[in-house]
Structure 1
Amino acid sequence: MAEEVKLYRTWSSRYSLRVVWALNIKHIQYETIHEDLKNKSPHLLHYNPVHKKVPVLIHNGKPICESLIILEYIDETWKNNPLLPQHPLGRAQSRFWARFSDDKLMPSIMSSYYSKGKEQEESVVQALDNLKLIEEQLNGKKFFGGDNIGFLDIVLGWLAHLPSLFAEITGLKLINAEKFPVLSEWVHNFYNHPAILDHWPPHDKMITKYRPVLNPIET
C-alpha cells in the first residue's frame, strides 16, 4: 500500500521550504497543498489547531507540525540519505545550532532590514556577530553536513536566499565574500545544489512581496 504524504505550505514560507528540500533529498513523493494564511483552510486548522500555521506534514493521515520537528520526523521515518549526524554529539550540536538559527540569527537579520536608525545599527552588529559564529561551524567543509547537505544546511537554507533578496531591495548586504568567504561559498553550493535549485520561490514574486515592507537605505 502506497504511503500518503501531504505537505500544507505557502509558496514563500522559508519554514515550508525546509520540508520541501528534505522530502526532495529523500526522494519522497508527496502532494502539495498551498494555503492562503489570510483565509486558512478548515483542513489546516484541523491539523494544526494549536499554532494554525504552516508547514504541516501529513503522513498516512497523521499530522506533524513545526519545521524542525518535521525534519527530524522525516529523517527518522525514511532512512535513506540521512540528514542528522549518526553520532549523538553531532546530532546534539546540529540541534543546538538549528535553535540558534531560529532564535538568534534569523531575528537579528530580519531586524537589520525591518528596523530603522539606532535599532537597525545595533541589529546589523548583532547579525554580523551571529553570522561569524555560523561561518565558524563550517570549519572548511563544503556543507554543514560534510560533503552532503544535512539537517543544519536545510535549517540554514534561508541564508542562501533571503539576505541577498533583501540586499537587492535595500542595498544593505550582510553576506559577502570579503566578510564571510566560507559562508559565501556555502551559499553558492547550497543554492545551486540539484536537490535545492528548482525549489526556490519565484524571484520576481518575492521582490513584489517584500519591496513594500522593506525601507530602502538612503545613499
Structure 2
Amino acid sequence: MTKEYLDLKMDFMFKQLFGHPSRKNITIAFLNDLLNRKGQDRIVDVQYENTELIKSDPDGKTGLLDILVYTSNHERINVEIQVENQHNMRERVLYYWTKLFSSTLEAGQNYTELVPTIMISILNYLLFPHQTKRFHNRFHVYEDLEFFMWSPHLEFHTFDLTKFKSKWKKYRRGMKAKPPAAYPWLMMLSAADYRKKTIDTDILQELEELAMNEQEVLDAIKEWESLSANRENKVMLV
C-alpha cells in the first residue's frame, strides 16, 4: 500500500509537525538546522508561546502566528509559512517583529532586557526574484558605508521553496558530500503539493535515504506519515 503524505505547507499540518509540544525534539532539530546552529550555539530546549497577537493588525483583528518559541539561548523565534504571495511579506515581517520584540519588555524593565527576536519566513513563491539566486537569505541592519551591525537582536531569515526545489533538482546528482543540514526539512516541505495533488517521489526517496543517518529527520517522517493518515487532517483538505 502506497504511503500518503499531506502537504506540510498547509498551516494546520505545519503547526502540528513543527510546533506541537509533543514533538519538541522535531521543533528543536528543525530550528537548529534551518539556522545552522552548531556547538554551544545549538538550541537544546524551547518553550512554546501563545501564537495569538492581540490586535496586531491595523484593523484591530487578532494576528495568528504559526510557531513561536522561547529558546534555551534566551531568544524568541517565530516561524511562518506562506503559500500564496500576498505582496506584503516584507512589511508583515517588520510589523510582527516589532510586536514580538517589544512585548518581551515589562513595565519597569530596562531596554537591555529585551531579547533577540528571530523571524523565519518559509515561502512558496519568489520574494526576491531578481535580487538573488539563493534560496536562503539572512538579514540584519547594517551601517550603510562601513557595514557594521546595529544590533544582533534583529534577525530575519527567508527560505524560498521554489528556488530550493529548482536547485535541488539541478544539482542533487552531483552532490557527493552530505547536503547542508536544512536540506531534509526543506525537502519535506517541498515534496507534496496539495493544489496540484501531487507528490514528488524523487524527493521522498532521497529524503528516506538521508533519514537513515538523521534520527530527528526519521522521527519527523514517521510523524508526518501518522498525521497524514489522520482522518481529521484529510477532511481539512477537502
TM (norm. structure 1) is 0.41
Q: Which protein is richer in helix relative to its size?
A: 1
